[in-house]
Amino acid sequence: MAVDRDQVLRGAAALLTRKSTATMDEVAKAAGISRATLHRHFAGRDALVRALEALGIAECETALDAARLDEGPAPDAARRLVREIEPAAGLLAFLYTENQLFEGEELHHGWTRLDDRISDLFRRGQLSGEFRIDLTPAWLTEALFGLLASGAWMVQSGKGAPKDFQHMIAELLLGGALRPGQAPHSPAPQNPAPQSSATQIEES
Amino acid sequence: MAVDRDQVLRGAAALLTRKSTATMDEVAKAAGISRATLHRHFAGRDALVRALEALGIAECETALDAARLDEGPAPDAARRLVREIEPAAGLLAFLYTENQLFEGEELHHGWTRLDDRISDLFRRGQLSGEFRIDLTPAWLTEALFGLLASGAWMVQSGKGAPKDFQHMIAELLLGGALRPGQAPHSPAPQNPAPQSSATQIEES
DNA sequence: CCAGGATGAGACATCTGTGTCTCATCTGGG
DNA sequence: CCCAGATGAGACACAGATGTCTCATCCTGG
């Protein structure tokens, strides 16, 4: 009855997302198969993590496609992105922190692709005047992943409601903690604004 | 010559911050002592992590004190917080993700104290009308830690400049990615927003 | 100068997780 | 109905890390 490889991966992801140090034995149990069978499908823990990485990347790519990042206002695209990527947030949180371990090893080239696609969104928003330009697209991308991880953990630990996930992340990422209209205090120099789509009231 | 325990901890932190899976042997070398001596000071890896936790908490408490969170405009206090806490960011990043492992175990009560103090800052900012009220203080606190970790990793990986650390985090946390003046699209209802820095208590 | 305390180096036993292999069992297709 | 293929259970050896202990050495204070 050939174990459903994808099913196994999802079971593994569900566990490793919560306990990143879980044993192959625990993973096997979580997936509902024996350790032997787990080994038959994935040469070792490393191979398993790689497979999860591939799964995570694939889900992200799918999410990015579904979010149609290059359509409409950039902020709306960012919100769509958060919405589409939510199901993968737990897995991403695992992979994101896991990646901090791979010191020298080259990281999966798929990540750089994702990074690029998301960075492009932020860059597009900057060019259109919708996003501020004193925060680099690379940082905004990194911050998005960080917030996704924080949000996923918060929900998992029960400190936050799942229904608030998208709002929490998208709103903080886009609007920050300040109330709209609040003038920044020690702001970075912001160009007079080439301006563009929407109204902007200029600050200070 | 009694090894300087604090010195050892900082050495360990410097390494574990980069490689969270480092061996006791590696930690010892990094701290410039033998594994035997390391064991004489810390019963085991667990004890070491606990000590690091205590160190991180202590540094955070110090940073919070130095930031004088209850003085002046909340946004300014938040910026001071980011500035003061920067030196501990690496250690925090390690502890923050490490904490995701302690499943059932009660986490060091020092964390909840820190959480409370920071949450209070955000709550204060909300009451004064400086911070938006549709994001809970708990989430803002969590997000701050997440961004600190992301920022620390970004700097460590060389993808970001250390000098930008404070600006990246404080500005994103407070102002978000949107340009000032950009009207939020799918925003939560937010009051018209009075004016700027000084006191303002109202709010709904 | 000498004794006590601390450290470094390394031996050792132990433990845990891993990877491999065997064998009985089960299931589905021919 | 029968066989091939896949799975579960468990034995085994191995590698890496850990915790403990011993012994020689090196300060440092008295």
Domain locations along chain B: 1-42, 53-175
- Averaged pLDDT score across all residues of chain A: 87
Q: Give me the CA A6–C1' D5 separation in Å, rounded.
A: 20
Q: Is any atom of nucleic acid chain C found less than 7 Å from the CB of residue A39?
A: yes
pLDDT tens by residue, B51-94: 999 999 999 999 999 999 999 999 999 999 999 999 999 999 99
Count of C-beta atoms within a 10 Å radius of residue A73: 17
The reply to whether the CB atom of residue A156 sits less than 7 A from any atom in nucleic acid chain D is: no
Chain B, residues 49-78, CB within 8 A of chain A, namely 73, 75-76, 78
Q: What are phi and psi of B101, to 5 degrees?
A: -85, -40
Measured distance CA(A70)–CA(A50) in Å, rounded: 29
Tokens of B34: 């033998």
* Closest partner CB to A130 (pick from B20, B75, B179): B179
B2/chain A closest Cα distance in angstroms: 33
For residue A50, what pLDDT band results from cuts at 50, 70 and 90? very high
Residues B93-100, mean pLDDT to the nearest whole number: 86
Assign A201 a pLDDT band (cuts: 50, 70, 90).
very low
Closest CA-bearing residue to C1' of D8: A34
Which superfamily does CATH assign the domain made up of B53-175 to? Tetracycline Repressor, domain 2 (1.10.357.10)
**Alpha-carbon dihedral sign for residues B44, B29, A105, B18:** positive
CA A75 distance to own-chain centroid: 16
* Beta carbons within 8 Å of B110's beta carbon, 6+ residues apart: B53, B54, B57, B61
Report the distance separating Cα A190 and Cα A184, nearest Å.
11
| CB proximity under 8 Å: B 160-199 to A | 160, 164, 167-168, 171-188, 190-194, 196-197
The CATH fold of domain A53-101+108-175: Tetracycline Repressor; domain 2 (1.10.357)
Number of Cβ within a 10 Å radius of residue A58:
12
Q: In terms of CATH architecture, what is A1-42?
A: Orthogonal Bundle (1.10)
